[in-house]
Structure 1
Amino acid sequence: MSAAWLARRLVQGAFAVLGVVVLVFALIRLVPGDVVTQLIGLEGNVSAAQQAEMRRLFGLDDPLPVQFGLWFADLVRGDLGTSLRTGREVFGDLMLRFPVTFELALLALLIALAIGVPLGVVAALRRGRAADLASSAFVLVGLAAPEFWLAILLILLFSLKLGVLPPNGYVPLSDGLWPNVRSMLLPALALSLSLAAALTRIVRSSMLEVLGLDYIRTARAKGTPERRVVYRHAMRNALIPVVTVVGLQVGNLLGGAVIVEQIFGLPGIGRYALEGINLRDYPVVQGAVLWIAVSYVLVNVLVDVAYGLIDRRVVYA
């Protein structure tokens, strides 16, 4: 892996992030209404002149290219702006909310790996049997069911029916590990099922391919125990594609967290962005989307690096 490749990859990621920022900047302003109409409400006794003055103070009366230029100039200096509604710095709010979203995505990823990898291996080893058919059914349900529907079902089952987990709310880690995990378990489960299903399918197909290779047949012909053939030789190469899939799915975890955080009342970046959209708080939306886009690009760069370290056959020029 060369420094030139890494630099080129980072530049490509920067252009991708810039494209996302420009697109979001334009789309959020196509939504009817702005922060002024949201603040005064439909029944507000505010004159047209006062509304125009408020828009001037917020900088909303400038042409869109001017607004983007001013915001981008601040962005280059590391300033994401301030919320039009609260007056708080967007970067500070993102720093406060990022640990919640990160913990949710990490817990969902761990649950997905704990479910998807073993299930995919078992399905490959028992191809065409009951375990394989059950895993196929799980994959179909997991890929088809949306996160918000799963979240509602989980609340009905574990909170209202069984009463073992809280339906919403967030307990910080400083208040104890178990209370924190209890508050995050249902959201993580709702977010992880689709990834677990995708991992099951990828691991199964990859294991079937690897188990049919010559070196596996050679290991078996030498009398190597089946457990060692599977877990020492086959799984090591079969799990290489999982690294790529996990990296690509990080963006889906962050994107899905928007709805899941809203349903479970988690104070994360997804809910922060959704509140910004509802209130037409442009700096909040732009800052949250920028944060998610940068995180997605950096994770994918790290995945590319890890892929090259795991599989020595991969050479980045």
Structure 2
Amino acid sequence: MSLGWLTRRVALALLAAFGVSVLVFALIRLVPGDVVTNLIGLEGNVSAAQQAEMRRMFGLDQPIPVQFGHWFGSLLHGDLGVSLRTDRPVFADLLLRFPVTLELTVVALVIAVLIGLPLGVLAALNRGKFADFASSSFVLIGLAAPEFWLAILLILLFSLTLRWFPPNGFVTWAESPLGNLKSVFLPGLALSLGLAAAVTRIVRASLLDVLGQDFVRTARAKGLPERIVIYRHAMRNALIPVVTVVGLQVGNLLGGAVIIEQLFGLPGVGRYALEGINLRDYPVVQGAVLWIAVSFVLVNVVVDVLYGLIDRRVVYS
């Protein structure tokens, strides 16, 4: 892997993030209404002159290209703007909320790998048998079931019936480590089942493909134990498709946990973006989406780097 390739890859990732930010900037302004409209709905009757003054105060009276120029100029200096609703810096709010989303993503990823990897291996080693059928059934259910539906079922079972976990809310690690784990386990489990199903499917398919290759037959012919053949030789070569799926899903989890964060009352980036959309808080939406886009493309860069570490045959130049 060369430094030039890595530089080009990061530059392309940042360019993609910039394209997303421009698209979001334009699309959100096509939605009827703005933050002033929402504030008027909360505060009652406001005269036309007062509405015009509020739009001037927020900078919404300027042409859209001028608004974009101001926002992008501030972005180049690391300033994502100030929330029109709370008057707080968007970047500071994102820094406060990102650890919640990151923790949720890590919990979901760990659960998905702990479920999907063994099931995929078990299905591949027992092709056509009951374990393979059971694994395939789990894959179908996991990929078909919506996350919000699973979340509601988990709340009904583990929160309202068994009372093992809180139905919503978030407890920081500093307040209570056990309470923190309880507050993120159910939402993490709801997010993880679809990813676990995808990991199971790709591990099974990739491992079956690798087990039919010549180097595996050679290892078995040498008399190596089956455990060594599977886990030291076959699994290493079967991991690249798995890393691809997991890497893409991590990017999706970092930005796609909006519904789960809303259902469980987690103060993460996804919920922050949803609040900004509902209130037409342009700086919040633009900053949150840009943050999510940058996170997604950076995860893809890390996945590309991992390719070269897992399989030495993959060379970037």
Match of 2:254 in 1: 254
> 1:233-286 CA distances to partner (integer Å, 9 max, x unpaired)?
111211222112111111221233111000000000000000000000000000
Instruction: Give, in angstroms, the shift of residue 42 of structure 1.
Output: 6.8
Mapped partners of 1:144, 1:70: distance in 2? 44
SS of 1:239's partner is: helix
Paired residues for 1:197-236 under 5 Å: 197-236=197-236
Mapped partners of 1:66, 1:240: distance in 2? 45
Instruction: Give, in angstroms, the shift of residue 176 of structure 1.
Output: 2.3
Kept in 2, the 8 Å contact 1:191–1:256? The answer is no
Mapped partners of 2:194, 2:105: distance in 1? 13
> Sequence identity, in percent?
76
Mapped partners of 1:14, 1:201: distance in 2? 32
**One-letter identity of the residue aligned with 1:96:** L
CA RMSD in angstroms comes to: 1.1
> 1:73-130 CA distances to partner (integer Å, 9 max, x unpaired)?
0000110000000100001000100100000001101111101110000000000111
- The reply on whether 1:118 has 2:121 as its aligned counterpart is no
Instruction: Give, in angstroms, the shift of residue 302 of structure 1.
Output: 1.2
Kept in 2, the 8 Å contact 1:97–1:267? The answer is yes
Kept in 1, the 8 Å contact 2:168–2:183? The answer is yes
> 1:195-254 CA distances to partner (integer Å, 9 max, x unpaired)?
111100110001101111111112222222112211221112112221121111112212
Mapped partners of 1:310, 1:225: distance in 2? 23
Kept in 1, the 8 Å contact 2:150–2:190? The answer is yes
Match of 2:20 in 1: 20
- The reply on whether 1:288 has 2:283 as its aligned counterpart is no
Match of 2:180 in 1: 180
Match of 2:151 in 1: 151
Deviating 4+ runs (over 4 angstroms):
none
Listed as ranges, the gaps of 5+ residues in structure 1 are none
Instruction: Give, in angstroms, the shift of residue 43 of structure 1.
Output: 7.1
SS of 2:71's partner is: helix
SS of 1:175's partner is: coil
Mapped partners of 1:200, 1:181: distance in 2? 25
Mapped partners of 1:29, 1:99: distance in 2? 29
Listed as ranges, the gaps of 5+ residues in structure 2 are none
Match of 1:303 in 2: 303
Mapped partners of 1:37, 1:87: distance in 2? 17
Kept in 2, the 8 Å contact 1:147–1:256? The answer is no
SS of 1:286's partner is: helix
Scaled by the length of structure 2, the TM-score of the pair is: 0.98
Match of 1:11 in 2: 11
Mapped partners of 1:305, 1:227: distance in 2? 28
Kept in 1, the 8 Å contact 2:272–2:288? The answer is yes
SS of 2:31's partner is: coil
Match of 1:104 in 2: 104
Mapped partners of 2:249, 2:24: distance in 1? 21
